[in-house]
Each structure stands twice: as C-alpha cells, then as structure tokens.
Structure 1
C-alpha cells in the first residue's frame, strides 16, 4: 500500500475539519432559524386580535375594549348560543331565563327574564362585556355603561347578518378562528339544503306569527328568507311590514299548500289550527300539510338558524330529503 505523506495527512485533516465545521454551523443556523420562525408564528397567533380595540355595534354605539374579555353576560338566547358555539361557555357569568341551549346554558346564573333585566346583579358580576339583543332600554343601557361595563347591541335580520355577527363576536372575544369554523360549517350546510330543493317546483307557503289577530311572516323577515331559500313561495311576500296582519279572506284566496307556525304554546296544535273557522277551505288543511316547528330553533338568529332552514325545507319539500 502506498504511504501518505505527513503533509498530505495534515491537509486532509484540515479539509475534513472545515467541512465538519461548515456542516455544524449550517445545522445550527437552520435550527436557530426554525426556532425563530416558530416563535414568530406563535407571536403572530397570539397577536392576531389586538387590544385595545375600537368597536361599533349594530346601533352605532362605539366602545373601546381594553383587553380580551374574561367575563361575559348575554341578554338573549341567540347571543348565548353564539358564545357557546365559540367555546366561550366558561366565560359566561349570566344569561336570561330563556337561554336554554346548549344544556350548559341552563346552569348559568339568570340575570334577565320576561319582566326585565336585573341590573344590580349584572353590576355585581362585573362582566367585561354585555351582549344585548336589539337597542335595549336606554335607562338600562345607561346604568350598565355608567358602571364601566362595555355594552354591545345586535339584532341580525338575515342569515348573512347572523354570520357577520358571529365573526364580529369572534373578533371581540379573540376567537376568530372558532368563528370562521362556525360560519364555514353554516355556509356548507346552507348550500347543501338549497341545492336539494333548487330544482323543486315552488310551493305556496304561509307562516303564522300569531293567530289572534292572524299575523304573517312578511317581506324582510327571517322566515320570509328561510321559506324562499327552502323552495317556497311566501304568500305574504307583498304585505306591508315584516310581521303584518293577514285577514282570513286573503288567506283563503291565496290558498297556501303548506301552513307553518311555531309550537309556542300548549294550546296551539295542528288539530286546533285545522279546526279554525274557514281553514277547511285551505289546501294545506285539506292535504294535511300543517306543521308546527320548534320555536327555539326557528325564532333564534344564531348558529342554529341553518337548522331552522332545514326544518322549513323538509316541511315544504319532504321528498327532497328522503
């Protein structure tokens, strides 16, 4: 075997040493860069929602939210359902007596009822934010705000407005990702329902809001939108106002094929509707197509509004869902 000189051995050693050093340095640099990038991703996620933030609610009230809300009060069942859908159940300190979904909502302290809002108890709970349905009572609003509590008021009038509200609450409460997931699921289910009925023949539908006097779901109402999306033709779509009175002559003349309402009292049943004077002349009654829907689903502008759409669509076009 040919001998390698001492000089060549030294050169070879130096080359190997340099190569090893370069490899190690590159590995160290890459490792440091990876750590830095991971830290930047975590920091970006943590800082996705920036506080303090300026917020304007649906009624033009402008507030500043200093920090991520830790304690929340909801004064509407629909708002409560939105908060739970965003995973904020642990932060909810108070709700109304009508907030019964999901099941966990029933165990929350009640600070509102049919008779009004318990302002004193809300102030004692010292929430970071109160979500109210509609503009609310100015005297109640003033007392809540005077206590240094942020008050936001919303009253969505369409499916798109419900989705926008979910996104808005997600931003305010630093749950934007959860809000996006909820809205995406709602959109997917809505599209699925609409696609099932889009080629079905339109069916004349009446939705009863109240029976004495008879009131309909008119143009611009939530139910008008749901009936239309579900492949129905709202016979009260040209009435004046969202919830107009509708006389018996009109009802019989326009003769709905499907009659819908909410099961909002024990006395109100399919049979009691069929037995009303003059109703025997309506196709919906003749063909046993009178349906009473779950009021907690069809009357709440929250995440389950798409479930309401499904209930309406199945009532109008049952064969499309077999």
Structure 2
C-alpha cells in the first residue's frame, strides 16, 4: 500500500516538474502537462505563428483564410472569425486551442472555455510580441529549437530595418484601413510601430478608438505626404489602386501631387506574423521613394 502511494506521489511530482507554463497575450497563464500534439487554430495569423514555431504538423483544425504557408490550406476547417463549429472542434480532440482574443466571438469563447481545454489567447500588439509569441508557442509545442530560430530571424530582420530607416527624415503617413466608411489605425497597434520603424509618422496616431472612423476633411487637413492601403490577399498592387482613387479629386493633396499613393499586400501588413518583416521592408522602400520626390 505504501509502495503504491509512493509511486503515485512520484508520478504526480514528475508531471508537475515537467509542466509547461506560459503567459498568453491576455495576461493569463496557460499550463500543459506535456507538449501539445493536437492544436486547433482559430485565426489565420495564429496558423502562421504555429507553423513558424515548428508546429504546423500538429494543427488539426483551422479557420477560413488560414492559407499560409501552402500546407495550411489542407488543414480541416472549423469555421471562421464570426462563427465556429464547436462540435467539430470537440470532435478533433485538441489538447490546445489558440484563439484571437478580439477576433473570435466572445459568446463562443465562453463556450470553448467551458470545455476545459487549455486556451492560449493570441493578439500581438508590438513587433517584440511577435517574436515572443513564436517562442511561447514553441514552448507549448515542445519545438523550442525551431521556434527560437524563427524568433531570432524575425528580430534580426526588424532590427536591420530599424537601423537603416528609423532615423531618416520623417514622412507623414495616412494608413487607410477601409474606404467606406473611411477608417484608419491609431498608435495602439503593430502597424503604427512599423510606420515609425520606417521613419514615418502616423497622422492619426492620437485618435480613438484603435480603428477610428474619420472624415475626408480630416485627411485633407492632415495633408499626409504618403497614403498607404492594403491590397487584397497575395495579389500584387496594380498601377491604379481603386481604394485610393478617391484622393485624386484633390490634386493639391501632397500625397497625390507627388504620386505617393501606395498599396502593400494585406497579408504582409495586417497579420502579426514573421511575414510582417516583408511588409515593413516594402513600406520602408515606399517611404524612401516619397523622400526622393521632395522638391530639391
């Protein structure tokens, strides 16, 4: 009897000793007794982060638009950001669910949490958070070596861009998230940091909320030197950008008069993943082009 009890205590101790605990982007602790082997991803950026961390083969379910890398397109779908197939998720027997804190429906999140499956909330708000997220997911997956390599590579790429561009003459930037209604981003998001990385200044950084609706008159008053928007998916920007054509009605607007209307692949700038370094590099080149167009 004593031997059995001792064996049980040793087993409990070993389980606790090998438990994995990380802090997610909501500030909550996520603990696993062993590395996750069956993961459900509930946001496209989460799928990319899991692959970057070396855990792509362990994703058993993902949401619509989880399309990168190519292998992600074959993962079974469990809904989208607006509606999740909870029965399908349960049937997949995941030992970890990674969700987008502000992207997935709050009511369904409550139901997911009631299942008792460990949940990691992902919402990187800063460039450093992306590198940290890769490392944390790697810890939960037991793929620390691959995760650390990807995290280091992203950190290096961002550091190189910052060293090259951050101290160049500032360029005022209006980032157009949507054209009807007209929407932008304030400083409380990762793309504002990318603008600063490139030596740009977000003209609506102080607006509220995070994605404020603004007026045409406000943009005209700000008179940005460059206007940037996201182009759909992985398509290359066309010579004419329909979403930005509206501004050509005001030829005196600096961004228009100097031809500084730029489109960047939305997948590279809207998802907080390692590919954001590619989007940042493209924005930096665009802002450099704007500097070159200044009157001598």
Q: Which has the larger radius of gyration?
A: 1
- For 2:250 and 2:17, the matched residues in 1 are separated by 58
Closer, same or farther in 2 for the Cα pair 1:202/1:125, shift >3 Å? same
Do the aligned residues in 2 keep the contact of 1:129 with 1:151 (CA within 8 Å)? yes
- For 2:270 and 2:87, the matched residues in 1 are separated by 29
Q: How does 1:1-322 map to 2 (within 5 A)?
A: 51-134=18-101, 136-264=104-232, 270-271=241-242, 273-276=244-247, 278-318=249-289
- For 1:63 and 1:200, the matched residues in 2 are separated by 41
Closer, same or farther in 2 for the Cα pair 1:289/1:276, shift >3 Å? closer
Q: Secondary structure at the match of 2:157?
A: helix
- For 1:216 and 1:95, the matched residues in 2 are separated by 28
Do the aligned residues in 1 keep the contact of 2:98 with 2:119 (CA within 8 Å)? yes
- For 2:22 and 2:74, the matched residues in 1 are separated by 30
Kindly provide the CA deviation profile for residues 203-250 of structure 1, in whole angstroms up to 9, marking residues without a partner as x.
111100111222222122222111111111221123233222222222
Kindly provide the CA deviation profile for residues 169-215 of structure 1, in whole angstroms up to 9, marking residues without a partner as x.
11111122222211211121112212222442111111001112222
Do the aligned residues in 1 keep the contact of 2:226 with 2:255 (CA within 8 Å)? yes
Closer, same or farther in 2 for the Cα pair 1:197/1:145, shift >3 Å? closer
Q: What stretches of structure 1 of length at least 5 have no aligned partner?
A: 1-46
Q: Secondary structure at the match of 2:174?
A: strand
Question: Which deviates more from structure 2 when the two are superposed, residues 240-249 or residues 86-95?
Answer: 240-249
Do the aligned residues in 1 keep the contact of 2:44 with 2:66 (CA within 8 Å)? yes
TM-score (norm 1): 0.77
- For 1:271 and 1:279, the matched residues in 2 are separated by 15
**Aligned residue-pair number:** 273
Structure 1 residue 61: Cα displacement: 3.8
Q: Could you say what the CA RMSD is over the residues aligned between the two structures, in angstroms?
A: 2.7
Question: Which deviates more from structure 2 when the two are superposed, residues 236-245 or residues 255-264?
Answer: 236-245
Closer, same or farther in 2 for the Cα pair 1:224/1:55, shift >3 Å? closer
Q: What stretches of structure 2 of length at least 5 have no aligned partner?
A: 1-13, 292-296
